[in-house]
């Protein structure tokens, strides 16, 4: 889980970690891309005018291969979570 929020922002890394714990998610890395937006630039998800990261999903398999990508077309849109979970399960096979 990557964000362009600072740790003191309303959606901070701490809150994301808390969300992951409450949701029973323990295999997600939570990082901030606020300083140089390096991750966002490399993956094409920076909305430059606002320095926001477009909501997107990237799943990497055990070998480090990117197996699933979903760029959401609207900033506030949520991904199809069933699809994402199935893609994650497939990546772990």
Name the β-bridge partners of 3: 32
pLDDT recorded at residue 71: 93
- Two tokens, residue 21: 């714990």
d(CA 88, CA 53): 21
pLDDT category, 53, cuts 50, 70, 90?
confident
> What SS3 string covers 22-68?
HCCCCCCCCEECCCCCHHHHHCCCEECCCCEECCEEEEECCCCCEEE
The C-alpha atoms of residue 1 and residue 31 are separated, in whole angstroms, by 6
- At 7-23, the pLDDT tens digits run 555 555 556 666 666 66
Is the pTM higher than 0.75? The answer reads no
pLDDT at site 67: 96
């Amino acid at each position: 889980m990557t964000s362009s929020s600072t740790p003191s922002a309303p959606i901070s890394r701490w809150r994301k970690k808390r969300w992951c714990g409450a949701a029973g998610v323990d295999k997600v890395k939570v990082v901030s891309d606020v300083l140089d937006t390096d991750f966002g630039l490399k993956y094409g998800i920076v909305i430059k005018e606002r320095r926001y990261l477009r909501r997107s999903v990237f799943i990497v398999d055990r070998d480090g291969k990117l197996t699933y990508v979903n760029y959401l077309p609207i900033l506030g849109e949520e991904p199809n979570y069933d699809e994402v979970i199935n893609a994650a399960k497939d990546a772990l096979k």
